[in-house]
Amino acid sequence: MNIWEAIIQGIVQGLTEFLPVSSSGHLSLVQHILPSTSSGNNDVGNQTVSLFLHFGTLLAVFIVYREVIWKMILEFFSMCKEIFTKKFVWKLDQMNKERRMVIFVVVASAFAILLFLPVFGWLGLETGGEPVKKLSDLAEYFSNDSDIMAEGIFFTFTGMLILLATVFEVRIGNSPKQKDSVITMRNACAMGLGQCIAAMPGISRSGTTTTMGMLTGAEKNTALEFSFIMGIPAVLAANLLEFKDTDWSVVRGSTIVAIVVGIVVSAVVGVLAIKFLKWIVSNDKFHYFGYYCLVLGVVVIVVATIESVTGVRFSFGS
């Protein structure tokens, strides 16, 4: 991968990691049409750069929400101290906002166990020579195949979910029911489930978790903030596991330069994307992303169908 491709993927990662349009789905599309990836000659090096792009977007979250995250870190250590001194109070209504946030991040993150339950063996699929049994295996299968039909279907799902949540938001907003201005246990559980579903390429993590929060009664800005913060442990853990399994023999001087450039670009673009999304949500324009994902999903499905019928893969260059 050259520097220009790293810049392109850094921009795509920075925008789509936070905008509710699926970073994995867009990166899959970009990798599908770029010459170096469509030729199949640089898959491992490309995956290595993509891995580091996620660290860039994690950095963006820490930059934007540094005050909230710092308070939560201090509260976490305070909780640990109280647990060991037997002074910890377990009632949620007696906790401050930061302590409840810590508890709910743990609850939401616990749903990640669903990614590793062996319930998909009946599909008879394989990835990397291994049978697909878990949800994480299924996500890897769709990410690594040469077909983009699954991405198109999942983009369409994301669009429908966002539009459903915005319709629900309007109806609740016009009713006597008061939306929750703080995250509740119900919100955390729903958003944790949404984060597992978002393992599929084309299903937006931020879009799914935010909409699941909205559908369970959370105020949209509150759901959005929690969506970003709750994603830190899951994204960090997933990338550390990939980091451990990375084949470093393919990392050379040009790849290292591409990695550094990609991290910087994805972090800068990520900060701008978060601020932009906060403005979009506050100004009731969240549904625009739903339309975008629906249109993109239909286009990708059409392209995938044409590729399947003609046997010709669409890509730039030769």
Domain coordinates in residue numbering, the chain: 3-310
Res 46: pLDDT: 54
Tens of pLDDT, residue by residue over 47-84, are 566 667 888 888 999 999 999 999 999 999 998 888 88
- pLDDT given at position 318: 46
pLDDT at residue 38, as a whole number = 45
Residue numbers of the chain with a pLDDT score lower than 50: 37-42, 44, 176, 318
Q: What is the pLDDT of residue 262?
A: 84
pLDDT at 193: 95
Region of 247 on the Ramachandran plot (φ > 0 left; ψ -120 to 50 alpha; else beta)? beta
Which pLDDT does position 48 carry in this prediction? 60
Per the rule left: phi > 0, alpha: psi between -120 and 50, beta: everything else, 149 is alpha
CA 23, distance to chain mean position in Å, is: 6
Q: Do the Cβ atoms of 286 and 220 come closer than 8 Å? A: yes
Write the burial class of residue 118 (CB in 10 Å: 0-12 exposed, 13-18 middle, 19+ buried). exposed
Q: What is the pLDDT of residue 41?
A: 43
Q: CA 27, CA 33: separation in Å to the nearest integer? A: 10
Strands (E), the chain: 126-127, 130-131
Determine the pLDDT at residue 248: 60
Answer yes or no: are the C-beta atoms of 242 and 224 closer than 8 Å.
no
What is the pairing mode between strands 130-131 and 126-127?
Answer: antiparallel
pLDDT of residue 40: 45
Cα–Cα distance measured from residue 214 to residue 226, given in angstroms and rounded to the nearest whole number: 11
> Whole-angstrom Cα distance, residue 161 to residue 177?
22
Query: Which pLDDT does position 160 carry in this prediction?
Result: 95
Pick from 44, 34, 46, 27: nearest CA to 313: 34
